[in-house]
Structure 1
Amino acid sequence: MFTPYEELDALLGDLTRSVRDILGDTFVGAYVQGSFALGAGDRHSDCDFVVAATRLPRGGTEAALRRLHDGIPLRPGHWTRHLEGSYADTASLRDLGGLGTPWLFNDHGHRELTWDTHCNSAHSRWILRHHGITLAGPPVTEVVDEVPPEAVRAEARAALPEVLDSVRSWASFDLAWTQRYTVTTYCRVLYSLRTGRVASKPGALAWGREHLTPGWGPLLTQVSADRGRGWDPADPPRPGSLEATYAFASYAESFAA
């Protein structure tokens, strides 16, 4: 068992077999990272993966991967619409010198792959190195080098002033989901800034309730308690929660200095 969900395990197994056939002798390994690797994945999570190959997929190989991911969300089931991950080359995946290299990326809920750096971050590498689940191939420690705490902290410090604008660029603050996501993201970034490690969403909120100014406790508790509401386009933020979120954003961004 890779995850708590039989349907998701079956999908991951099928994805790994299909990708292995497409990549042929360039295939190195397939791994789960993100919330499921951190032991906190649930029905409201996406499932993050990284496939490592000796070279980036191009030409017919890239086209075959695009056809594969174009069809997966059309299959029956819940998890077929909740995969997210990248196809990386081992050279740029190995160490932090590869940061900034675009990988072929499957965005959560999308059918079209793009070239993006979304999964190519110190944050994702830290999870993969310390908690990655091997679907196929060598242990992840043979594929990804250790990520220094200073690199995780530096990335978090740089991200703090950009969190709100980044979320605004793709999500609507008319939704309760966005309010919760924003608060959780700030907690995760602050956790990484303080510790040089990466926490799951529930773990970061729990850490925030214990370590941040106590006055934020009600907001963090609300976000944690409302996770079960999931993503609902007809669900507006709770009264006052958006104002509290903006205030929390200002508080969190002050730590960037």
Structure 2
Amino acid sequence: MRSPRFTPFEELDALLGDLTRSVRDILGDTFVGAYLQGSFALGAGDRHSDCDFVVAATRLPSGATEATLRRLHDGIPLRPGHWARHLEGSYADTASLGDVTGLGTPWLFNDHGHRELTWDTHCNSAHARWILRHHGITLAGPPVTEVVDVVPPEAVRAEARAELPGLLDSVRTWASFELAWTQRYTVTTYCRVLYSLRTGEVASKPGALAWGAAELAPRWRPLLTQVREDRGRGWNPADPPRPGSLEATYAFAAYAESFAG
């Protein structure tokens, strides 16, 4: 029997299938479902994306179950192939996942490419939950709309409004602006936040850049076009920003943050 296709990449589909079988066995009768959110759910995932997942269970992992999940994820990035180093996701309980009152509850989180799981709110945001509710791909379990409640537009807008001030300083704490990747990531993130602030919805990275080029002040079109065209350069520690692109990015950041009020 041919394996189901969830993404454009056969290797990634095989890894997701193996992950789903493994966590179903580990979680036992607490397992509810496994889902994709993020870029692949939005139809924009490519080889430069990470693959975002959410596993729903009737309760948060603890004790021996948590320890076994930690052992599983400790080994995944050591496997051969590209995608084993590009998974990111969380193990959520259905109570906090199913209702917006549970936003901000820490879940057991696997950061992109990391071997250690941490308790974090990374995936439990209005942004991620909106994608999951509207575009989530079911790997196993019931339809995602039976697991995740509607996220009100006001919640998406409020989160975006709170994120804008200081977004640039936040990026500086974990990424170097000596890399072209950071410059592109920053511009794209501001566009995605502005899109959510305006619409109460969430766009993919290319979708947000296209929206920005069409809807924001025309003087930003060259910068947004540069970011879209340079995505294929991927993450390269030896790739510096294009001349003048950082200055344009800092100016765009100030422009974007002016909308916070």
How many residues align? The count is 257
The more displaced of 39-48 and 157-166 is 157-166
| 2:220 corresponds to 1:216 | yes
Q: Which runs of 5+ in 2 are unaligned?
A: none
**Among candidates 151, 155, 161, match of residue 151 of structure 1:** 155
| 2:80 corresponds to 1:76 | yes
Q: Which runs of 5+ in 1 are unaligned?
A: none
Matched with 2:248 is 244
Deviation (angstroms), 1:162: 2.6
* SS, match of residue 184 in structure 2: helix
**Among candidates 6, 15, 25, match of residue 10 of structure 2:** 6
**Among candidates 123, 146, 156, match of residue 119 of structure 1:** 123
**Among candidates 178, 184, 197, match of residue 201 of structure 2:** 197
Alpha-carbon distance in 2 for matches of 1:242, 1:107:
27
Q: Which residue identity is paired with 2:99? A: D
* SS, match of residue 51 in structure 1: strand
Matched with 1:28 is 32
Deviation (angstroms), 1:29: 0.2
Alpha-carbon distance in 2 for matches of 1:224, 1:161:
24
Q: Which residue identity is paired with 1:203? A: G
* SS, match of residue 109 in structure 1: coil
Identity %: 89
**Among candidates 99, 102, 107, match of residue 98 of structure 1:** 102
Alpha-carbon distance in 2 for matches of 1:44, 1:224:
13
Deviation (angstroms), 1:234: 0.5
**Among candidates 107, 116, 131, match of residue 111 of structure 2:** 107
Alpha-carbon distance in 2 for matches of 1:166, 1:92:
26
Q: Which residue identity is paired with 2:156? A: V
* SS, match of residue 95 in structure 2: helix
Q: Deviations over 1:49-75 (max 9, x none)?
A: 000000000000000000000000000
Q: Which residue identity is paired with 1:54? A: T
Matched with 1:161 is 165
**Among candidates 57, 61, 66, match of residue 61 of structure 2:** 57
| 2:136 corresponds to 1:132 | yes
Deviation (angstroms), 1:225: 0.3
Deviation (angstroms), 1:188: 0.1
Alpha-carbon distance in 1 for matches of 2:104, 2:158:
15
Deviation (angstroms), 1:163: 1.2
**Among candidates 2, 18, 24, match of residue 22 of structure 2:** 18
Structure 1 runs of 4+ aligned residues shifted over 2 Å read none
Alpha-carbon distance in 2 for matches of 1:47, 1:225:
22
Q: Structure 1 length normalisation: TM-score?
A: 0.99
**Among candidates 139, 145, 160, match of residue 141 of structure 1:** 145
Alpha-carbon distance in 2 for matches of 1:198, 1:64:
34
**Among candidates 174, 187, 190, match of residue 191 of structure 2:** 187
Q: Which residue identity is paired with 1:12? A: L
